[in-house]
C-alpha cells in the first residue's frame, strides 16, 4: 500500500484479511448505514467495521466518498450495495466485462446492467464473464429485477432460495456453471417465466412444488444429475419448452404430458425412462422439436 493514504478495501482484505486503514468520514457513514440501512437487508448484522466479509466490504465501499448520496432512497441505495456485493463475491476484479463497476456512476451505467426509466435495475447480463466463487444471492436482493443471466461462468455452490422467493424475477439463467445441490424450495410468490439450470451438477428429484411457478413457460434442466420420476405437477404449467435430457430420471413418461398443449420443444433423452412412448404426444399440435434418443428402456413407436 506504499504511497496510499487509504488503500482500497478489497486490496486490504486480499493482503491482510482485515480492513485496518479507514478514514474517519468513512467510519461515520458506515455507522450511519449500519443503523439506518442494513437492518432492512440483514436484521441480524453483527460484522465489525474491520471485517472482510463480502457484505462488510460492500458496505465500506458504500461508505466511501463516491457514495455520498445521502439523499437517495434506501431502495436505490440497496441497488448499489447488492451490485457491489455481487462484484465482490463473484470475483469482480477478474471479470471480462466490468466497465463502471464500483465507480461513482449510476449503476444503470455499469456494464451489463439495464434499468427502467426510474433507474431501477431490471436486467443483469453477466453471461460469459468469468464469474467465480459460490453463487451470490445478491441479484435476488434487487426489488425490481426481471432477468439475471449468468450462463457459462465458473460459479459453484448451491442455489440460494432467495432466487425463488423474489417477486419480480421473471428469467433466471444459470446454465453451464458448476452448481451443486438440489432445487431449493419454490415460493408461491415467485413470478418466473423462464428457468435455465442446464449443464450443472444438480441432484435430487424435480420437486412437485415446481407447480408453484405457475407462469413458467420455459424450463431447461438438461445435463445434470436429477433422478426419480417426472412429477405430474410439471404438466400443469404453461410450458412451451421443456428439456430434461441428460439426467438419470426413471419411471414411465406420464400421459399427463399431453396436457402441455402449448409445448413447442421437448427433450427427454438420454434418461432411464421405461415403458412405452406416450401416444398422447400426437396431441401436442404445437410441437416442432422432439428428442427421445438415448432411452434404451423406452418402447413403442412415435405416434403419427
Of 9-18, 135-144, 231-240, 254-263, minimum mean pLDDT range: 9-18
How many whole angstroms separate alpha carbon 209 and alpha carbon 37? 34
- How many Cβ atoms sit within 10 Å of the Cβ of residue 14? 11
Cα 107 versus chain centre, distance: 19
| pLDDT at residue 304 in the model | 64
Of 4-13, 52-61, 227-236, 275-284, minimum mean pLDDT range: 4-13
What number is the average pLDDT over the span 122-141? Answer: 98
Three-class DSSP category at 81: helix
Average pLDDT of the chain?
Answer: 93
Nearest to 280, CA basis, from 256, 262, 263, 250: 256
Instruction: For residue 293, give the C-alpha cell.
Output: 434418443
Three-class DSSP category at 235: helix
| pLDDT at residue 12 in the model | 80
Q: What is the pTM of this model?
A: 0.94
How many whole angstroms separate alpha carbon 296 and alpha carbon 80? 52
Grid cell 435455465 in the structure block, residue: 196
How many whole angstroms separate alpha carbon 40 and alpha carbon 205? 34
Q: What is the pLDDT confidence band of residue 126, given thresholds at 50, 70 and 90?
A: very high
pLDDT in tens, 174-196: 999 999 999 999 999 999 999 99
Evaluate if residue 274 carries a pLDDT over 90. Answer: yes
Instruction: For residue 29, give the C-alpha cell.
Output: 457513514
| pLDDT at residue 70 in the model | 52
Evaluate if residue 7 carries a pLDDT over 80. Answer: no
| pLDDT at residue 72 in the model | 74
**Residue 177 DSSP symbol:** S
Any bridge partners for residue 195, and if so which? 172, 219
Three-class DSSP category at 171: strand
| pLDDT at residue 277 in the model | 92
What number is the average pLDDT over the span 216-223? Answer: 98
pLDDT in tens, 40-69: 999 999 999 999 999 999 999 999 876 655
| pLDDT at residue 301 in the model | 81
Percentage above 90 pLDDT, the chain: 83
Of 18-27, 106-115, 130-139, minimum mean pLDDT range: 18-27
Any bridge partners for residue 287, and if so which? none
Percentage above 70 pLDDT, the chain: 96
Instruction: For residue 164, give the C-alpha cell.
Output: 425463488
pLDDT in tens, 65-86: 766 555 678 888 999 999 999 9
Amino acid at each position: 500500500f506504499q504511497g496510499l493514504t487509504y488503500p482500497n478495501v478489497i486490496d486490504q482484505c486480499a493482503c491482510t484479511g482485515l480492513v485496518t486503514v479507514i478514514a474517519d468520514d468513512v467510519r461515520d457513514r458506515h455507522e450511519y448505514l449500519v443503523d439506518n440501512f442494513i437492518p432492512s437487508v440483514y436484521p441480524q448484522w453483527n460484522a465489525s467495521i474491520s471485517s472482510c466479509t463480502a457484505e462488510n466490504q460492500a458496505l465500506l465501499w458504500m461508505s466511501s466518498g463516491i457514495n455520498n448520496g445521502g439523499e437517495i432512497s434506501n431502495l436505490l441505495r440497496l441497488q448499489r450495495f447488492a451490485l457491489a456485493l455481487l462484484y465482490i463475491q463473484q470475483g469482480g476484479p477478474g471479470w471480462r466485462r466490468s466497465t463502471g463497476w464500483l465507480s461513482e456512476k449510476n449503476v444503470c451505467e455499469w456494464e451489463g446492467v439495464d434499468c427502467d426509466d426510474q433507474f431501477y435495475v431490471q436486467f443483469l447480463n453477466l453471461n460469459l464473464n468469468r464469474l467465480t466463487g459460490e453463487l451470490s444471492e445478491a441479484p435476488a436482493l434487487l426489488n425490481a429485477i426481471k432477468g439475471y443471466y449468468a450462463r457459462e461462468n465458473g460459479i459453484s455452490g448451491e442455489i440460494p432460495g432467495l432466487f425463488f422467493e423474489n417477486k419480480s424475477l421473471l428469467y433466471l439463467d444459470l446454465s453451464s456453471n458448476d452448481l451443486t445441490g438440489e432445487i431449493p424450495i419454490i415460493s408461491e410468490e415467485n413470478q418466473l417465466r423462464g428457468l435455465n439450470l442446464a449443464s450443472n451438477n444438480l441432484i435430487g428429484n424435480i420437486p412437485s412444488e415446481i407447480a408453484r411457478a405457475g407462469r413458467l413457460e420455459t424450463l431447461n434442466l438438461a445435463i445434470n444429475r436429477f433422478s426419480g420420476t417426472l412429477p405430474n405437477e410439471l404438466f400443469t404449467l404453461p410450458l412451451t419448452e421443456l428439456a430434461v435430457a441428460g439426467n438419470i430420471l426413471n419411471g414411465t413418461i406420464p400421459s399427463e404430458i399431453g396436457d402441455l398443449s402449448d409445448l413447442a420443444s421437448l427433450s427427454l433423452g438420454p434418461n432411464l425412462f421405461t415403458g412405452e412412448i406416450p401416444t398422447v404426444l400426437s396431441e401436442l399440435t404445437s410441437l416442432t422439436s422432439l428428442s427421445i434418443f438415448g432411452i434404451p428402456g423406452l418402447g413403442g413407436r412415435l405416434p403419427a
